């Protein structure tokens, strides 16, 4: 008789036969940096996550160092927004200055800069606008300048999240021309137009002022289109692909791992975090168990890297043997 239970008999036995694991090395922690002084602003829809001003960020860096997390994804929130998102590509903008500071106080930390305009535009869209339309090709040079200024400030990687067509190629070309040939591009490749980004838009003040992002982010009904989009990014020179959101898109992640040989990251986005936090705060779920199950789900589906707001907790739970 088959007795599968033979190999489930004790914690040590289960550990020996385990097929998948998650390591602290896999984790990337998103952080929000806001212009101004002495700011540590809680984000009400994301308990435990704050916007920090540069003069308060060391406190967060200490927590990251202590957790052993090796990468952060950084978002800037400027004091002034305009139609064309000028602060995104100001070499002394909030994200550029934050990167300089972080690389000075914590040089080994892998700092990944989000490359988008929506936190910087007065209308909250990820591209420039004319007559109510989000323009693609006119946006590309601005994204390229954003990437170059972030890399010049010391970013170890750039992560374009704007979903304009051709953005990876435009950024690669601009980085190469600026003698930043060694800076990798971690591209949000299958980024769906998703309701799961709601809490992030509170955190980054980046909700679109009119309409939605459906003309540039992907339609979540289309897995085969997601694959085409991945190949576009690969051909344009992406070094790492991001699948986003995570939980509802495990099939896309699995497909990416089977159909490409690219390093893969999954973004366990804000709405996924908020749902877990809300249920846990009500005592309806066991937060640690649920979060670790989600992490292993991402690993099973093929992610090497997990971008998650839970990163510091996960690091601690891994060390404790969860
Ligand atoms: C900006 C951006 C978004 C996220 C990452 N970069 C939001 C959006 O597209 O509106 C979402 C991250 C999250 O929800 O945690 N382009
Ligand atoms: Zn955007």
For 235-279, how does the pLDDT look when each residue is reduced to its tens digit (9 = 90+)?
999 999 999 999 999 999 999 999 999 999 999 999 999 999 999
Nearest CA to ligand 1 atom 5: 161
- For residue 197 and ligand 1, the question of a CB distance below 6 A is answered with yes
Does residue 130 have an active-site annotation? no
Ligand 1 atom at shortest distance from the alpha carbon of 270: 15
- Does position 202 have pLDDT exceeding 90, yes or no? no
- Tens digits of per-residue pLDDT, 46-104? 999 999 999 999 999 999 999 999 999 999 999 999 999 999 999 999 999 999 999 99
Q: Which of 81, 191, 277, 299 is catalytic?
A: 191
277 is known as an active-site residue: no
Residue 107 pLDDT more than 90? yes
Q: For the whole model, what pTM was predicted?
A: 0.97
pLDDT for 174 equals 98
Distance from Cα 197 to the centre of ligand 1, integer Å = 6
Q: Which of 244, 277, 288, 316 is catalytic?
A: 244
Domains present along the chain, CATH in parentheses:
21-242 (3.20.20.70)
If we measure between CA atoms, which residue out of 178, 185, 177, 172 comes closest to residue 152? 178
pLDDT score recorded for residue 300: 98
The reply to whether ligand 1 has any atom less than 6 angstroms from the CB of 200 is yes
Cβ of 205 below 6 Å from ligand 1: no
Compute, in angstroms, the gap from residue 162 CA to the centroid of ligand 1.
9
Atom of ligand 1 nearest to the CA of 116: 16
Distance (Å) from CA 5 to ligand 1 centroid: 43
C-alpha distances (whole Å) from 138 to each of 72, 83, 213, 237, 261 are 29, 13, 17, 20, 32
Cα distances from 67 to residues 23, 58, 116, in angstroms, run: 12, 14, 28
- Dihedral-angle region of residue 306 (phi above 0 means left; psi in -120 to 50 means alpha; beta otherwise): beta
Do 52 and 72 form a contact (C-beta atoms < 8 A)? no
CA of 125 relative to ligand 2 center, distance in Å: 6
Residue 117 Cα, ligand 2 centroid: separation in angstroms? 5
Distances (CA, A) of 4 to 16, 17, 20: 14, 12, 18
Q: SS3 string of 69-112?
A: CCEEEEEEECCCCECCCHHHHCCCCHHHHHHHHHHHHCCCCEEE
Which residue's C-alpha comes closest to atom 14 of ligand 1?
197
List Cβ neighbours of 139 (8 Å cut-off, separation of 6 or more).
117, 126, 127, 128, 162, 164, 167
**At 38, is the pLDDT very low, low, confident or very high (cuts 50, 70, 90)?**
very high
Q: Is 114 in the pocket of ligand 1 (CB under 6 A)?
A: yes
């Amino acid at each position: 008789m088959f007795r599968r239970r033979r190999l489930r008999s004790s914690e040590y036995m289960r550990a020996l036969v385990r097929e998948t694991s998650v390591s602290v090395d896999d984790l990337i922690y998103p952080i929000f940096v806001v212009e101004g002084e002495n700011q540590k602003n809680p984000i009400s829809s994301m308990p435990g996550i704050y916007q920090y001003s540069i003069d308060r960020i060391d406190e967060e860096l200490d927590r990251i160092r202590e957790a052993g997390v090796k990468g952060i994804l950084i978002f800037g929130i400027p004091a002034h927004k305009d139609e064309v998102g000028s602060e995104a590509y100001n070499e002394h903008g909030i994200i550029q200055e934050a990167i300089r500071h972080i690389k000075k106080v914590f040089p080994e930390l892998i700092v990944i800069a989000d490359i988008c305009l929506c936190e910087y535009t007065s209308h909250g869209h990820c591209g420039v606008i004319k007559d109510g339309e989000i323009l693609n090709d006119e946006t590309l040079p601005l994204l390229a300048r954003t990437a170059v200024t972030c890399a010049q400030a010391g970013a170890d990687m750039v992560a374009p999240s704007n979903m304009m067509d051709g953005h990876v190629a435009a950024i690669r070309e601009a980085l190469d021309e600026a003698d930043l040939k060694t800076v990798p591009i971690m591209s949000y490749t299958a980024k769906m137009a998703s309701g799961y980004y709601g809490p992030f838009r509170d955190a980054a003040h980046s909700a679109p002022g009119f309409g939605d992002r459906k003309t540039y982010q992907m339609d979540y009904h289309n897995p085969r289109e997601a694959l085409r989009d991945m190949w576009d990014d690969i051909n344009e020179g992406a070094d790492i692909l991001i699948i986003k959101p995570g939980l509802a898109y495990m099939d896309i992640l699995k497909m990416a791992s089977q159909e490409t040989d690219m390093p893969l990251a999954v973004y366990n986005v804000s709405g996924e975090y908020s749902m877990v936090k809300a249920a846990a705060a009500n005592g309806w779920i066991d937060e640690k168990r649920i979060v670790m199950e989600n992490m292993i789900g991402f690993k099973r589906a093929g992610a090497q890297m997990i971008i998650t707001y839970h990163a510091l907790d996960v690091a601690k739970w891994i060390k404790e043997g969860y």
